[in-house]
Amino acid sequence: MKRNITTTINGEARELAVETFHSLLDALRNAAGLTGTKKGCDVGDCGACTVILDGAPVCACLVLAAETDGCNVTTIEGLQSAPGSLHPLQESFMMLGGAQCGFCTPGILMMAKALLDENPNPTDDEIRFGIAGNICRCTGYTKIIDAIRDAAVQLRQEAKGGGKS
């Protein structure tokens, strides 16, 4: 029950041979070799596998790889704008201690990117609501929320043409 699919991953069209019963998560990690997307619970409860599918954040464990034929997927490997640079969210998570063990971090970064794409100036309550499906067992979330709020400021300044302070 092999399927050949063509999925655009991080801007690059990738031809992948997948099984009909493989999740997008397994296809990303095994067939595409992109292991930045983490497998936590594998049943949609933890958010560690969050990727952006055609503009919408989803749990890659709850999508069949075969369903993504012809779709656009952005993973943590595609978050940075250029090789060697970091996305403002990544900078903020580093500066403000938003990551501890780091296992939930790729999923939280992708969810935060989707959140800020939709709402560039969220309240703390809106940030909490946005990342409600991303479980972190280390941080207690305070520094994650600080980092997302900080990145939102940076991104708004960049959008205004002010660049990074």
Partner 1 sequence: MRPFDLLQPKTTDEAIALLARHGSRACLLAGGTDLLVEIKEGIRAPDVLIDAKHLPGMRDLVVSSSEGLRFGALVTARELETSPAVKDFYHGLWQALRELGSIQVRNRATVAGNVCRASPSADTLPPLIADGAVVAIMGPAGERHVTLEDFFTGAGKTVLNGDEIVTGFSVPKPLPGTGKCYVKHGRRKAMELATVGVAVTMTMTGDTCSSIRIALGAVAPTPIRARKAEAVLAGKKPDIELIAQCGAIAATETSPISNIRGSADYRRRMVEELVQRAITAAMEAAR
Report yes or no: 23 and 43 within 8 Å, Cβ to Cβ: no
Counting residues that bind partner 1 (by CB under 8 A) gives: 32
Distance (Å, rounded) from C-alpha 154 to C-alpha 162? 9
Point out which span in 71-79, 125-133, 146-154, 155-163 binds partner 1 (CB under 8 A). Answer: 125-133
Nearest to 137 by CA among 102, 111, 88, 86: 102
Among 6, 97, 132, 158, binds partner 1 (CB under 8 A): 132
Strand ordering across the sheet containing 12-19: 12-19, 2-9, 72-74, 50-53, 56-59
Nearest to 50 by CA among 24, 19, 18: 24
Contacts with partner 1 in 57-116 (CB under 8 A)?
57-59, 61-64, 66-67, 111, 114
- Count other C-beta atoms under 10 Å from residue 26's C-beta: 20
Nearer to partner 1 by Cβ, of 131 and 157: the residue is 131
Q: Is residue 134 at the binding interface for partner 1, with CB under 8 A as the rule?
A: yes
Residue 99: CB minimum distance to partner 1, A:
19
How far from 73 is each of 7, 37, 57, 59, 165, CA to CA, in Å? Answer: 7, 12, 10, 12, 31
Contacts with partner 1 in 11-50 (CB under 8 A)?
19-23, 42-45, 47, 50
Point out which span in 51-59, 79-87, 93-101, 147-155 binds partner 1 (CB under 8 A). Answer: 51-59
Report angle CA 7, 11, 78 to the nearest 5 degrees: 105
Residue 39: CB minimum distance to partner 1, A:
12
Chain residues binding partner 1 by CB under 8 A are 1, 3, 19-23, 42-45, 47, 50, 53, 56-59, 61-64, 66-67, 111, 114, 129-130, 132-135
